[in-house]
Structure 1
Amino acid sequence: MLRILVLGAAAGGGVPQWNCGCPACRASRSEPGLQRTQASIAVSADAKHWFLINASPDLRQQLGATPQLHPKAGSLRHSPVAGVILTNGEVDAVAGLLSMREGSPFTIYAHPRVLAILKANSIFNVLSETNVRRLPIAIDGSFEPILPDGSPSGLEVLAFAVAGKGAWYLEGKSHPEGGDGAGDTLGLRIADKATGNYFYFLAACAEVTDDLKRRISGAPLVFFDGTVWRDDELIAAGLGNKTGQAMGHISMSGDNGAIAALSGLGIDRKMFLHINNSNPALLRDTAERKAVERAGWQIAADGMEIVL
């Protein structure tokens, strides 16, 4: 069986964000059920060995809150985490790697552009290559992640390029890998090789193209970018000066938003994650949340477990 754990469902900064007094952050400080850590999931084919999809800055907290990811009883040093698959090089996807520096073996899988970012930043050298291998992901090429002892995981991962943008901290600077940006934002199709069950993971997406529609049509489950409800949301709320598009994210609403673009594709279960604190759909009783649910979408929450 294919098992999925939602470790975190929020965009960068989480909910509540440490310095924010917006409605969602204020409400979440008194209502723990509204709180979200930064987006990441874990996936397994055997319920024993797990692969993280992105390593958020909240990873230490997420691992502590997830019994399936605790060391096994009687072991001084052990982790069920066999690897980390990165879909981009943003801070909220890679910073958690620094919490995994205590010597347990695992493998990092990422596009060469993201691996180049890690290599160029010496702080990631705390992840000794003696224990932590770094393997490149090819766009539109399937691979099977391996366990620390070299045995197969039973998973099959297909990475593909989606519309997006590079890490914001590299804006105006030369990318360590150069090139045209292909590979800075990836979507994943993750399958259980034994059963054939699969799902899609797209934590960032700036546009739903015809190719993307073809890929995910009829999928049992899709995790999709839910960063903002409307494109100018942060500007209208006085929380920032960038649109969702400028940050590389499609809005939930609108004629070209995710809800409209992904309707009628026969997807069994549609789940928004990477949800920003500015997004009113986070709050249960808002008109935006009701519109999400009427359209057949769910808002992901930390601690969810899904079995396919």
Structure 2
Amino acid sequence: MKFLVLGAAAGGGLPQWNCGCDNCNDARAGRISASGQSSLAVSVDGHSWAILNASPDIRQQMQASPRMHPRALRDTPVGSVLLTNGDIDHIAGLLSLREQTPFQMFATGEIHKVLADNRIFDAVNREVVPRVTVALDQPFELLPGLTAKLFAVPGKVPLFMEGTEVQTDLEGEQTVGVRLSDGAKTAYYIPGCATVTDKLLDQIADADQLFFDGTLWDDNEMIRTGTGVKTGRRMGHIPISGPDGSIVRLSGLKAAKTFIHINNTNPIWQPDSLERAFVTGNGWQIAADGQETEI
């Protein structure tokens, strides 16, 4: 399997349009690399690709990646798009893929309902782009030679669907992880996860490669930096650090591990930070736009 990181950042990207934090200012000045919003492409042959989550930056991300360019007058190497939740940073890019070129769109029934309830997504013609509903824990063909399976991951409903009471550790169709297999190797893509449960550890135990939620370094990051009022877990994202953070909880996993969906405030963006050194010292990679991985 071949993986291409189209976007490594969380919602808003790096720099975020309205943020003057150190990371965003450094990205504007070119002192660190800018990053688009989270999206990952996967292929088994290097010619036909599936896109996992269509970020609002998808047009620019595809332009920057020659593997995503059309090979004829009206063409795309994209055979399918798969959505892992209904968050804006994962579905808004569908509106840039509305020009009557066929591909398949895979999601759970709950995620498809988010699209159906927002009629702007009818611009993506269902007669050209079929919406395929996928049941949890049932394997399906994402591309020829590539089998996928969706499974529940602790999370919450999209921000724009929140009510007065918000459950952040829901396990159902609203937030899913993806298991990918070409019959020889197995990879997982989990860009949003509120907590690493024992059940989730059992699910991903066979991973050769893991792309995992790296949104925040610590749970109070947004509050501490003055950029927000919510903890990471309130936003549905487990922190990287801490005794029950993702590095500790996933330390027994033998897979190659990569953090993706990284918030603009996260100190691991800084090349010389102690936090980045800690992450890489514990065997993790940090995703970057354009990064290619093969297993």
Q: Secondary structure at the match of 1:187?
A: strand
d(CA) in 2 for partners of 1:237, 1:297: 24
CA distance in 2, matches of 1:211, 1:137: 21
Other-structure match for 2:42: 43
Q: Say which SS state the counterpart of residue 230 (structure 1) adopts.
A: coil
Task: Give the equivalent residue in structure 2 for 1:302.
Answer: 289
Residue in 2 aligned with 1:211? 199
SS in 2 for 1:132: coil
Residue 250 of structure 1 deviates from its aligned partner by 0.0
**Letter in structure 2 aligned against 1:30:** A
Give per-residue Cα distances to partners, 1:102-136, cap 9 Å, x unaligned. Answer: 00001110010010111111100111111010011
Which amino acid counterpart does residue 191 of structure 1 have in structure 2? S
Aligned equivalents of 1:113, 1:265: Cα separation in 2: 30
Does 1:76 pair with 2:56? no
Partner of 1:67: 66
**Which residue of structure 2 lines up, in the alignment, with residue 177 of structure 1?**
none
- CA deviation map 1:170-191 (0-9, x unaligned): 01189xxxxx761111011111
Contact 1:89 1:114 in 2 (8 A): yes
Structure 2 residue 13 is matched with structure 1 residue 14: yes
Following superposition, the deviation at residue 19 of structure 1 comes to 1.0
Following TM superposition, by how much is the alpha carbon of 1:218 offset from its aligned partner in structure 2, in angstroms? 4.6
Equivalent residue number for residue 54 of structure 2: 55
TM-score by length of 2: 0.96
Identify which range, 91-100 or 287-296, moves more after superposition: 287-296
Name the aligned partner's letter for residue 56 of structure 1: S
- Once the two structures are aligned, what percentage of the paired residues are identical? 47
- Tell me the residue number matched to 1:149: none
Is the 1:25–1:277 contact (alpha carbons within 8 Å) kept by the matching residues of 2? yes
Task: Specify every segment of 5 or more residues in structure 2 that has no aligned partner in the other structure, as ranges.
Answer: none
Give distance in 2, aligned partners of 1:26 and 1:218: 40
Equivalence for 1:154: 145
Q: What amino acid does structure 2 have at the position aligned with 1:192?
A: D
Q: Secondary structure at the match of 1:114?
A: helix
Residue aligning to 1:24: 23
Partner of 2:124: 127
C-alpha contact 1:166 1:181 (8 A) present in aligned 2: no
| Number of corresponding residues | 291
Q: Answer yes or no: is 1:185 the counterpart of 2:179.
A: no
Give matches, 1:223-262, under 5 Å: 223-262=211-250
Post-superposition CA distance 1:270-294 (Å, at most 9, x none): 1000000111111111111111111
Could you tell me which amino acid in structure 2 is paired with residue 99 of structure 1?
S
Q: How many angstroms does 1:265 deviate by?
A: 2.2
Structure 1, unpaired ranges of 5+: 147-152, 175-179
The question of 1:115 aligning with 2:106 is answered no
Q: C-alpha separation between the residues in 1 aligned to 2:35 and 2:51?
A: 17
Aligned equivalent of 2:133: 136
Match of 2:263 in 1: 276
Q: Is the contact made by 1:34 and 1:283 (CA closer than 8 Å) also made in structure 2?
A: no
Match of 2:160 among 146, 160, 169: 169
- What is the Cα deviation at residue 32 of structure 1? 6.5
For residues 131 and 83 of structure 2, what CA distance do their matches in structure 1 show?
Answer: 11
* Matched residue SS, 2:285: strand
1:200 counterpart residue number: 188
- Paired letter, 2:105: I
**Could you tell me which residue of structure 2 aligns to residue 4 of structure 1?**
3
Q: Is contact 2:180–2:187 with CA below 8 Å preserved after alignment? A: yes
| Root mean square deviation of aligned Cα | 1.4
Q: Which of 83, 90, 93 is the equivalent residue of 2:90?
A: 93
Q: Shift of residue 217 of structure 1?
A: 2.3
> With structure 1 as the length reference, what TM-score do the two structures score?
0.92
Q: Would the aligned equivalents of 1:106 and 1:132 in 2 still touch at CA under 8 Å?
A: yes
